[in-house]
Amino acid sequence: MAPTTTEADLVVDTDRGYFVYGVVAQAPGRVPEGLTGVGGAPVRSVGHGPVAAVVGEIDLQRTTGRRADLVAYSEVLDELASTGAVAPVQFGSVLLDEQSIIEELLAPNEQHFAGLLDQLAGRAQFNLRASFHEHVVLGEVVTADPEIRRLHELTRDLPEEAAYADRVRLGELVARALEDKRVLEVEALLDSILPLTAAYSLRSGAGIEHLLDVALLVDDERRSEFEDHLEGLAEAVHERIGLRLVGPVAPYDFVGGDTWG
């Protein structure tokens, strides 16, 4: 007699799904025991072939845009990156069940992820931000350009509403001079740093003080040399430029793609 399928057998928990953190090589113990993520949920892996998705259960009715969720996401990926290659998946990626994880994420992208993990193995991301000391760089601009110096002296002691056209012209000249200076300084910084890195990715920034925001992929075997070099560089430019290095972190800027990378 064939088994009978009851209505209860067809009930699926549609309120639960899986938050996806990233993809790693499938291997025993690749996800540390006790690791928790968004909402305090335990993190585990779902494997397919040579790769595995790192996931945690989540309430599908729960929004995942809060700061605590982003922090938890980053902490999981950085922990995974500390012990091996990981390809981060875009923050907020959620799939309904294990079958969806395999069929929608892992199976169609298996070779892509396997190749990406090979490229990331033995490397870590560092984030470098360089900022002008505003009063110093503005002083340099005023000193170097006679027209800027003249307009600066002309408008310095006048009421804000006075000499409007001169102030506009001064602002345009300063902005242009700062951009020219920024191009030269960025070129010099990158020429000094990039020989010690495997790859880099520039980020946008704004403001007078902004100089450079760049993600750097560094081979583990060159990490000490890289960090020592940055310390020396920071000391050499500290009167004009501030350098801030963060890392190692998961390679968020080196996975590519809009959905799964």
Is 259's pLDDT higher than 50?
no
- Name which residue leads in pLDDT, 118 or 12: 118
What is the mean predicted confidence (pLDDT) over 118-143?
91
What's the start-to-end Cα distance of the chain, in Å?
A: 49
Q: What pLDDT digit, counting tens, does each position of 112-130 carry?
A: 999 999 999 999 999 999 9
Buried residues in 153-169 as b, exposed as e (16+ CB within 10 A):
eebeeeeeeeeeeebee
Is 246's pLDDT higher than 90?
yes
Is 161's pLDDT higher than 80?
no
- Name which residue leads in pLDDT, 6 or 183: 183
What's the pLDDT at 64? 66
Question: How many residues are present in the chain?
Answer: 261
pTM of the model: 0.82
> For residue 224, what are the CA distances in angstroms to 38, 177, 188, 237?
33, 36, 21, 20
What's the pLDDT at 11? 44
Is 1's pLDDT higher than 60?
no
